[in-house]
Structure 1
Amino acid sequence: MNMTESQNQDLNKPALPMNIQQIREYLPHRYPFLLVDRVTEITDNSIVGYKNVSINEEFLQGHFPEYPIMPGVLIVEALAQISGVLGFVLNNEKPQPGSLFLFAGAEKVRFKKQVVAGDQLVLKSELVMQKRGIYKYNCTASVDGIVATTAEIIISHQRI
């Protein structure tokens, strides 16, 4: 790759940190289902971002209301969402109408720590396999440096 190609590739990467307006350009999700608040780091094969968990979250109102904890399925969804952002970046494209990364599966999911109101859930995703529009990521969600959830996330690039 020559210098011009390398410079053009960098021009297509989003500026960091990605705020919520930029994230909304990459994810079709909207309130209350958009679960990535900020993207802080992107490398050639990984991404880091976070979700601030507030007591005002709708899901905390009914999920153990006396001791509200973030549902594990939503932590896994947040990992899939940040992986979807990485998928677009790795493909060197911004989302276009009809182009989506869809959650296709989760393997080896483990919940190790509860996530509660006031926590900042740090989301990390690293590409481990890409084949024919299917992407597999090793993902970790942590709070204060302590792992809360690990999973292998599979997403599929679809054009509808």
Structure 2
Amino acid sequence: MELNKIELLVEKYFQGESSIAEENELRTYFSSLHVAQHLEQYKPLFGYLSLAADQKFAPEIALDSKQDFQNEFKKRKVTWLSIAASVVVLMGIGTYGYYNDEFEKGKQNLGTYDDPELAFRQTQKALALLSNHVNVGIESVKYIEEYQESKELIFKQ
């Protein structure tokens, strides 16, 4: 009777229909010394499962070393951040010095004129140049307006 029950439990186990209690019963049976000859082939399987169930996970890294690692990581991070901040500050100072020097050089030559008529002509040239560039920009906007009107006619929004 016992052998028939074990054979039925093995069948249920391989079909995935066995309960935890039935699996424990199979482990107990296959870990004993009295296993039927035709069921000997399953002994290593259930023997391994019983050994795996008894094993416990033990972390390999101690908590102190984990904290040491985190502290070292934070120190490295702070070191790199301070180096990066120093580089940014130095670049800012260098950029300010460069542009301030250029500004001082440009400040000396203000383009002043002693003759008012010459100043008037130069101002007219500058304004004409500015006007030409503004007109080019306005022409581009006109093309966009025409495109918008055409699109509205086509799609009738």
Q: So what's the TM-score if we normalise by structure 2?
A: 0.18
More strand by share: 1
- Largest Rg, 1 or 2: 2
Greater RCO (Cα-Cα under 8 Å, separation 6 or more)? 1
More helix by share: 2
